[in-house]
Amino acid sequence: MAAISDVNPFVSAPVGDNAFARITDNVSRIAEVERPPRAWYIAFACALGILSIFLGSIGWVVWTGIGVWGTTMPAAWAFPIVNFVFWIGIGHAGTLISAILFLFRQTWRTAINRFAEAMTIFAVMCAGVFPGIHIGRPWLPYYMLPIPNQMDMWPQFRSPLEWDIFAVSTYATISIVFWYMGMIPDFATFRDRATTFWRRLCYGVVAMGWRGSSRQWHRYERAYLILAALATPLVLSVHSVVSFDFATSQLPGWHTTIFPPYFVAGAIFGGFGMVVMLAVPARQFFGLKRIIQIRHLEVMNKVLIATSLLVGYSYMMEFFVAWYSGNKYEAFTFVNRAFGQYAWSYWAMISCNVLFPQLHWFKAVRTNPIATLIIGMFINVGMWFERFVIICTSLTRDFLPSSWGYFIPTKIDFMTLGGSFGLFFTLFLLFCRYLPMVAMAEVKAFHPSAHAHEPDHPVEHTGQAPVGI
Amino acid sequence: MSDSHEPQASESGPAPLHGLLAEYTTTGDILRASKKVRDAGFSRWDTFTPFPVHGIDRAMGIRMTILPWIVLGAGLTGLGTAILLQWWTNAYDYPWLISGKPLWSIPANVPIMFELTVLIGGVTAFIAMLVLNNLPMPAHPLDQVKRFARATDDRFFLLIEAADPKFDADATRALLDSTRPHAIESILEDRKTSDKLPTGIIYALVIATVASAVPFALAAKARYTKSRSTRIHLIQDMDAQPKYKAQRENPVFADGRSTRVPDPETVAVGELHEDDHFYRGTQNGAFARTFPPTFRVDETAMLRGEQRFGIYCTPCHGFGAEGNGMVAKRAEELAQGTWTPPSNLTDQRIRDMPVGEIFNTITHGIRNMPAYGPQIPTSDRWAIILYLRALERSHAAKIADLAPAERTGL
Amino acid sequence: MATAKKDPKKSPTGTKTGTSAAKAEGAAKKTSEPDDAAARVAVEGFADSIRLGTESSAMFAKAGGLAVVCLAVSAALGASEGDGFKRWSYGYIAAFGVALAITAGSLFWVCLQHLVNAKWSVVVRRIGELFAANMPLLAILALPVVVPVVLGNGVVYEWADKTKVASEEILKHKSGYLNPGFFLVRMLFYFGFWSILARYYLNSSRRQDETGGSEIAPTMTRVSGPAMIAFGLTITFCSIDLFMAVEPRWFSTMFGVYFFASCVLGVHVTLILTLMWLQRRGRLATTITTEHYHDLGKMLFAFVIFWAYIGFSQFMLIWYANLPEETAWFKQRFFGGWGAVSWTLVFGHFVIPFFGLLSRHIKRSKALLAFWCFWMLAMIYIDMYWLVLPAINVEPDVRAMDLLALLGLLSALVAGAAREAGKKNLIPTKDPRLEQSLAFENI
C-alpha cells in the first residue's frame, strides 16, 4: 500500500481555516482532482474487464437460451436466484445505515452512510439482472407488471414472486430517492466550489438550486426523517418478501416461519460485510482516514458480530425445530445439509458466517483494517453459500427420491456470477470519482463545533467527537 | 464590517435593493442573530447554512411544516390503490383460482399493500419537499455575491429582504450590526439572469410530453380495434426449433417419416418376452386358468399384491373390490350419464374368469378402465390377481372356513 | 442524534448556580409534595427527589396485599371448578406470560442499554433494573406451572403424562426434549441465570452510585455482550417450553421471536407507566422530561410494528403453505369465537395503536401516552390468552379467575419492584452518561 500512497494526491492534510472547511475540502477534492490515484485506474480497468465478461456471458445466455447454465431440474433456481438473493442482501446495509441507524441516532453512520447507500443501489441493480435473465425471455418482463394487455390477463397477486417485483422495485426507487435527496446539499457544495463551466453546470443541475436556506432545511430534515421512517420497515420487508419466495412453499428446508427475520438479519450481515470490505480500501486510497476512522470500522465489526449471532441463532432454530416438529422430511433435509452431498457448502457457510466473525470479539482484530477486510470477504463468501445451501440442497433433495439430483454449475454460471461484481465495482468506482463520497453536510452537523450554541461558553466535548477534523 | 462587493448598475439604472446579507462564522452567532431578527418582527428573511443548525427552527420561529400530513395522505392513497388494484385484477376482472387460495386473499395481498404505501408515501415526501421548497430554483439574487459560495461550505448567512414591510435600509443595517456579523453586504436584484426557462427548453418539454402520450394512444387503439394481420413477432422465441416432431415429414429417410419403427427381426435388450403364460396370460392361445410357473405364489407375493391393489385398484373398485371406490362413488353422485361403473370383482362372473383374462384386462384395460400394463410391472399384475383371488375367497367365506381359535374372536 | 446539548440549568454536578437550583426546586414543588422528608433530601446536587422513601413500603404493602388476595381468590375459584386446577392453570399460564414478558423484557432492555452504550436512557435505566430484579419472585410464581409437570401431571402439558406420551408417536418423538426432568432443569437454568444477571446489573449499578468507580460502566458493557447471547437463547426456549409446548404437536421456528416482541412491548409499557406514577408522587419531577417519554413512546410504536411483522409473517407462511400439522393451530384461532379474538389482535394490537401512536404529539402527551400504554398492556394479555387458552377452550371463555391471576401477578411485580427500590436511588446518580441523558433532546 505504501507504493500506492506515493502517487496518492490525498495524503496531505485538508485545507481550511476551520473544521467545516476542512471537511468540505477533504471530501470534495476526491471528485475535483484531475487525476485520481493510480490505484483507481487499475481498479477501474479491472472492473471494466470483469463487466465485459458479464455483458458477454449475459449476451450468450440470451442468444442461446438459459440451457447454457447448469440450472436444470430439479435445481431450477440454482445460480441465478442464489446470486439474486445474494446481491439483494448486500443491498440492505445501505438503507439500514442511512435509515435505521439514523432513527437510532447513531452519529457514526455519517462517515459511511453515503457510500453504503450507493452500494445499496448498485447491488440492487446487480440483483435485478438475475431474475431478469432467469425468466428466459428477458424481453417479456412486462408480463409481471399490472398493465392492461392484449391477452386480457392480470398478474397473479397471490404469488410471492409477484410480491418480489413490487418489493424490489419499491426498494430500488426509495433507495435512489433517499440517496439523491441526501446528496442535494453536497452537490450544492460541489457546484459552489466548481472551477470549470461544465462542472458548475452538471452539479448545478443536480443540486436544483439548493442554497442552504434554513426554511428549506426544515422541510428537508422532516422529509429525510419521514423517508428514514418509511425506509426502515421497507428494508425489513424486502428481504422478508424474498424469503416468502421460499417459505410459502412446502419444500422441506424452505417452509419455516423464521425465514423473514432470518433473511433480514442475514442481509444486514452480508451488507455490512460488503461495507467494511469497501470502506477499508476507500479510506486507504482516497485519504478518508480522518473521516472513516478505525472507530467506525470497530463499530461496524461489532454489528457484524451481532448479526452473525442472529444468523447463527436462525441456523440453530431451524435445526432444533426440524427435529422437534417430528417431520421426517424436514429432519432429513437438515441432516442432509450438514452431511449430505452439499456438506462442503454447508460447512463453508457455517465457518464463514458464524465462526470467523467471532474473531471480532478481540479488540485487536476488530480495530485492524486488514483483518476487517479479510473477515468481510469471508462473510460475503459465507452469505453467498448460505443462499446456495438453502436453494440447492432443498431443491435437489425433495420428497421424492426419484426426483433427486445434483446441480453442477457451468462456466457461464461462474462468469455471470463473477461478472456481476464487474458491474458493481464499475458503478462504485465511478461513484467514488464523481459524486460526494461522504455526506459532508451531515458530518458537519454532528461535528462538535456545530454545537457551540453559546459562544460565551467554551465548547465542551461530551464523549468522543463523531468526526476528528 | 465591510461592503467589499459593489453591485453592478444595469442598463436601466441601478437595480433595486433585494436585501441585506450578514455573514457569521459560528452556529452560536447565527442563532443569536436569528433570535434578534425574529424578535424584531421581520417576516421575509432567511438564514443560509451549510448544514441544518440544531435549534435554528426555534431561533427563527419556523413553524412545523405540513409535509408529514401530505405524506400520510399519500401513504393512505398508496394503500387504497394497492387494495383496489389487487381486488379488481384478481378477484373481479380476472378471477383465477390458484393454490387453493380464495380469489380475494387478504393475507396474500398484505405485502403489496405495504409496498405501495411506502412507495407512494416516500416518493411524495421527496416531491413535496421540492415543491414546498420551491425547488428547483435556478436563479437567486444571492448568486451574484462571491462570498455567498461559502454558504455551502463553512459560513452562515442571514438575509433580510427589502420587500419585508419592516425593512428600513438604515435601521435594519443597524440591527444586523448589533449581531456582530463577520460582514454585511447589500444585495441588489439580479437583472442579468432571467429566472424564466429558455423558450427552447419549454418547447422541447411540451413536445416531449405530447410525444410520450403517443405510445399509450397506439396501445389504446390496438386494444379496441381488430386486425387481420398477425401480430409483429420481433423475437422468435422458440418458434423455430432445430428438430423433427412426430408425424412431420423428414427428408432424411426414404419413407419421409420422422417417427421411426424398429428394424424388423430386432428386439430391444430385455424385451424378448417369449413366455406367453407369464407375459400375456395365455396358454396355447387360450387364457390360462393357472398362475404361471415363473410366478412364485407365497406370502410375499400376497402382501405385495395387497399393497399394489391398494394403490392402483381401490380408487375405482374399492378396498373390498366391490366396485365402490371413491372415484366410482363420486361419479355416481355427479350422475353425468357417461360413466360406466367399475365391475364388482367379487361377482361370480369374475370368479369364474380365467386368471389369464384378468391379467389381460389389467394389461390392456377395458371399457373406460385404462391400460395398466405400462404402469404395473408384470409380476405385480400377477400379485394383484393373487390378492384379488383371496378377496373373492374371503367374500364368500363361511364361519366354518376359519380356524377354531379365530371363530371365537369374531 | 442524542444532542449532548450543554444546559447548565440541568447540570447534575455541584457546579450549578443558585438561581437554577431554585428554579428546579420550584418545579419540584409544583408537583405533589412527597410525604417523606427523607425523600426530599437532595442527593448529589439533585433538586429532584430521587428516592421512594416510605412510599416504597406503603406501595409494597398495598400491591403485595392485592397480589396475595387476588391470587388466593383466583386459586380458590380454580379449585371450585373441580377439574384438578386444569382450567385455572391455563388462565394462570396466560397471565404468567404477561409477567414474564415484563420482567424478562426489563432484563433484556437493561442489557441492551449497556450493550449499545445508550446515553438517553440512563435516567430511566434504574426502573428497568428494578423490574428485572423481580426474577427470583417470578421463579416462585412459576411454581404452579412447573410443579405439576415435575409431578408428572399432564393437566396442561400432555407430555408430562407418561401414559399419554406412550400412546402417541409424536409425543414419544419429542420426549427427548419435552420431559419433566429436563423441563425442570431448563426452568432452573432460565430463572437462575436471569436472576443472577438481573441482580448483577442492579448491584453493579448501585455500587456505582456509592463509589462512582469509573471501571463499573465498562464492565457492565462487557458483560452485556455474552449476556445478550445467553438471554436470546433462554428466552427462546423458555417461551417454547411454557407456551408453545401447551400444544405440543404444533411448532414454529419464529415462536421465540414472537414472544420476544411482547417482552419488548412489556418493558416499555412498564417503564412509561412507572415513570408517570413516580412523577405523580413527586419523584424525578424534572429529571424525566417529555423527551424521555417521547423516546420510550417511539420504541413502543416501533415494537407495535415489529410485533405485527413477526405475527403476520408467522401467520401468513403457515396459512399459505397450509400444512395440516401447522395450520390446525391457526384454524382453531381463526374460526368460531376465537376468530373475533384474532381480529381484535389484528386491529387492537396493531392497526389502532399504529395510528394512535403515529403522531409525535401523542407520544409527547402524558395522558395520551398513558392511555396507549394501558391499551397495549391489555393487548399483550389478550395475545397471551390467545396463545394459550384455545388449547382447552373451543370457544373463548374469560373467567374471573383468569383476570384475578393477571391482576395478582402484575401486583406482585409492582410490590417486588417497590420493595427493591426501597430507600435507594431511582436513577444511577454516578453514571458517566447521566449528564447527556438529562440534557437529552429528540430531533
Residue ranges covered by each domain of chain C: 53-438
Tell me which of A251, A324, A362 to substitute to probe the interface with C (most C C-beta atoms closer than 10 Å): A324
Smallest Cα distance from B410 to chain C, Å: 26
Q: Would you say B139 and B193 are in contact if contact means Cβ atoms under 8 Å apart?
A: yes
Residue B24 and residue B37 in contact, taking contact as beta carbons nearer than 8 Å: no
State ipTM: 0.90
Residue C232: which of A248, A258, A313 has the nearest Cβ?
A: A313
Whether residues C320 and B54 touch (CB distance < 8 A) is answered with no
DSSP state of A68: G
Contact B108 C3 (CB under 8 A): no
User: Searching chain A, which residue's CA lies closest to the CA of residue C176?
Assistant: A324
- pLDDT at position A469 is 34
- Does A401 lie at the interface with C, CB-CB under 8 angstroms? no
- Interface probe for C, chosen from A159, A462, A464, A467 (most Cβ of C below 10 Å), is A462
Q: Which domain holds residue A351?
A: 2-145+164-451
Provide the chain A residues 162-221 that lie in CB contact (below 8 A) with chain C: 221
Closest listed residue to residue B359, CA positions, set B247, B235, B275: B275
Does A124 reside within a domain?
Answer: yes
Tell me the C-alpha distance between C78 and B178, whole Å.
79
Q: Which residues of chain A neighbour C310 with C-beta distances below 8 Å? A: 260-261
Edge-to-edge, what's the strand order for the sheet holding B45-48? B45-48, B156-161, B17-24, B183-188
Mean pLDDT, residues B184-205: 83
The DSSP result for B291-306, as a single string, is --TTS--SHHHHHHHH
User: Which of the two residues, B240 and B41, has the higher pLDDT score?
Assistant: B41
Whose cell is 431554585? That residue is: C22
Summarised one tens digit per residue, pLDDT across range B114-164 is 999 999 999 999 999 999 999 888 888 888 888 898 999 889 999 999 999
Contact C177 A324 (CB under 8 A): yes
State residue B287 phi and psi, 5-degree precision: -65, 135
How far away is chain B from the Cα of A67, in angstroms, using its nearest Cα? 13
Has residue A186 been placed in a domain?
yes
Q: Measure in Å the smallest separation between the Cα of B176 and chain A Cα atoms.
A: 18
Give the per-residue pLDDT at A259.
94
Distance from CA of A425 to the nearest CA of C (A): 32
Show the 3-state SS of B113-143.
HHHHHHHHHHHHHHHHHHHHCCCCCCCCHHH
- Main-chain phi, psi angles of C165, to 5 degrees: -60, -45
- Residue C295 corresponds to which cell in the numbers above? 423516546
Q: Is residue A33 part of a domain?
A: yes
Taking the C-alpha atoms of residue C269 and residue C278, their distance in angstroms, rounded to an integer, is 14
Q: Give me the residue from B54, B72, B101 closest to C3, CB to CB.
A: B54
With respect to residue A158, please indicate whether it lies within any of the assigned structural domains. Answer: no
Q: Does C3 touch chain B (CB under 8 A)?
A: yes
Cβ C251–A236 below 8 Å, yes or no?
A: no
Q: Count structural domains, chain A.
A: 1
Nearest residue to C431 (alpha-carbon basis) of C85, C117, C100: C117
B65: chain C residues, CB-CB within 8 Å: none
Whole-number pLDDT of residue B190: 81
- The reply to whether residue C5 touches residue A453, judged by beta carbons under 8 angstroms, is yes
DSSP C285: T
Q: What residues pair up with B45 in beta bridges, in sequence order?
A: B160
Cβ atoms < 10 Å from Cβ of C436? 20
Whether residue B80 has pLDDT greater than 60? yes
8 Å CB contact between A255 and A335: no
Nearest C-alpha neighbor of C273 from the set C377, C178, C181: C377
pLDDT band, very low/low/confident/very high, at B11 (cuts 50, 70, 90): low
Neighbours of chain B (3+ CB pairs under 8 A): A, C
Q: Answer yes or no: are the C-beta atoms of C425 and C51 closer than 8 Å.
A: yes
Cα–Cα distance measured from residue C111 to residue C196, given in angstroms and rounded to the nearest whole number: 13
pLDDT, one tens digit per residue, over A35-82 is 888 888 999 999 999 999 999 999 999 888 888 999 988 999 999 999
User: Measured between alpha carbons, how far is A105 from C1 in angstroms, rounded to an integer?
Assistant: 4
Answer yes or no: do C3 and B107 touch at CB < 8 A: no
How far is it, in rounded angstroms, from Cα A25 to Cα A19?
A: 10
Return the sign of the alpha-carbon dihedral for residues B253, B259, B265, B270. Answer: positive
Q: Report pLDDT for C341.
A: 94
Smallest Cβ–Cβ distance between C319 and the set B54, B72, B107 belongs to B107
Give the chain A residue whose CA is nearest to the CA of B128. Answer: A223
Chain C residue with minimum CA distance to B109: C316
pLDDT number for residue A27: 85
User: Which domains does chain B possess?
Assistant: 13-192 (no CATH), 276-399 (1.10.760.10)
Q: Do C6 and A453 touch (CB under 8 A)?
A: yes
Q: What is the separation of C-alpha A131 from the centre of its chain, rounded to a whole number of angstroms?
A: 18
Amino acid at A389: V
Nearest residue of chain B to residue C316 (CA atoms): B107
Contact C251, C236 (CB under 8 A): no
Which spans in C281-336 are helix H? 290-321, 324-334
The whole-angstrom separation of Cα C309 and Cα C313 is: 6
Closest CA in chain C for residue B68: C359
**CB within 8 Å of A123: residues ≥ 6 apart:** A87, A88, A90, A91, A94, A271, A274, A424
pLDDT of residue A388: 95
pLDDT of residue C365: 93
d(CA B239, CA B242): 10
Long-range contacts, stretch C30-37, CB < 8 angstroms, 24+ apart: C30/C285, C31/C279, C31/C280, C31/C282, C31/C285, C32/C280, C32/C281, C32/C282, C33/C282, C34/C281, C34/C282, C34/C283
Distance CA B76, CA B168 (A): 48
- How far is C353 from B170, CA to CA, in rounded Å? 56
Q: Is C5 on the interface with B (CB under 8 A)?
A: yes
What angle, rounded to 10 degrees, do the helices at A38-64 and A259-285 form? 140
- CA-based R_g, chain B, Å: 46
**At a CB cut-off of 8 Å and minimum separation 6, what does A353 contact?**
A266, A269, A308, A311, A312, A379, A382, A383, A386
Residue A221, amino acid: E
* C174: nearest CB among A225, A247, A326: A326
Residue A362 near chain C (CB below 8 Å): no
Whether residue A457 is contained in a domain is answered as no
Beta bridge partners of B306: none
Is residue B66 within 8 angstroms of chain C, CB to CB? no
- Does A208 contact B136 at a Cβ distance shorter than 8 Å? yes
Per-residue pLDDT tens, chain C, 443 aa: give them. 333 333 433 434 433 333 444 444 444 444 444 444 444 334 455 567 888 888 889 999 999 999 999 999 999 999 998 888 999 999 999 999 999 999 999 999 999 999 988 888 999 999 999 999 999 999 999 999 999 999 988 889 999 999 999 999 999 999 999 999 999 999 999 999 999 999 999 999 999 988 888 889 899 999 999 999 999 999 999 999 999 999 999 999 999 999 999 999 999 999 999 999 999 988 888 888 899 999 999 999 999 999 999 999 999 999 999 999 999 999 999 988 999 999 999 999 999 999 999 988 899 999 999 999 999 999 999 999 999 999 998 889 889 999 999 999 999 999 999 999 988 888 888 888 888 888 887 76
Write the DSSP string, B316-367: HH-TTSSS--HHHHHHHHHT-S-PPPPP-TTSHHHHHS-HHHHHHHHHH-BT
Show residues of chain A in contact with C177, CB under 8 Å. 324
| Beta-carbon separation of C225 and A446 below 8 A | no
Cβ under 8 Å to A: B residues 134-193: 135-140, 142, 148-154
pLDDT digit string (tens) for chain A, length 469 residues: 333 334 344 556 677 778 888 888 888 888 888 788 888 899 999 999 999 999 999 999 988 888 899 998 899 999 999 999 999 999 888 888 888 888 887 888 888 888 889 999 999 999 999 999 998 888 888 888 898 777 788 999 999 999 999 999 999 999 999 999 999 999 999 999 988 999 999 999 999 999 999 999 999 999 999 999 999 999 999 999 999 999 999 999 999 999 999 999 999 999 999 999 988 988 888 778 888 888 889 999 999 999 999 999 999 999 999 999 999 999 999 999 999 999 999 999 999 999 999 999 999 999 999 999 999 999 999 999 999 999 999 999 989 888 899 999 999 999 999 999 999 999 999 998 899 988 899 888 888 888 755 443 333 333 333 333 3
CB contact under 8 A, A214 and B60: yes
The one-letter amino acid code at A131 reads: P
* CA dihedral sign, ordered A230, A233, A235, A241: negative
Map grid coordinates 415484563 to a residue.
C102
Domain for residue A227, yes or no? yes
Residue of A nearest to B43 (CA): A215
Chain C hits for B100, Cβ within 8 Å: 322
Q: C262 and C380 in contact (C-beta within 8 Å)?
A: yes
Q: Which of residues 298-327 of A touch C (CB under 8 A)?
A: 305, 309, 313-314, 317-318, 321, 324-327
Q: Which residues of B touch A21 (CB under 8 A)?
A: 153-154
Does residue A214 form part of some domain? Answer: yes
Task: Read off the pTM.
Answer: 0.83
- B&C contacts, CB < 8 Å: 16
Do A225 and C443 make contact, defined as CB atoms within 8 angstroms?
Answer: yes
The helix/strand/coil state of C156 is coil
Q: Are B25 and A18 in contact (CB under 8 A)?
A: yes
pLDDT on residue C374? 96
Which chains reach chain C with 3 or more Cβ–Cβ distances below 8 angstroms?
Answer: A, B
| Cell numbers representing residue C12 in the block | 447534575
Asked whether residue A151 is assigned to any structural domain, the reply reads no
Sign of CA dihedral C3, C6, C9, C10: positive
Q: Tell me if B50 and A219 make a contact (CB, 8 A cut-off).
A: no
Q: How far apart are CA B307 and CA B387, in angstroms?
A: 9
Q: What residues 301-330 of chain B have any CB closer than 8 A to a CB of chain C?
A: none
Taking an 8 Å cut-off on Cβ atoms, the answer to whether A261 and C177 are in contact is: no
C310-349 residues touching B, CB cutoff 8 A:
312, 315-316, 319-320, 322
Q: With H, G, I as helix, E, B as strand and everything else as coil, classify residue B160.
A: strand
Instruction: Decide: B153 and A193 in contact? Cβ < 8 Å.
Output: yes
Angle, helices C86-115/C400-421, rounded to nearest 10 degrees: 40
For residue C292, give the C-alpha cell: 424521555
pLDDT score of A23 = 86
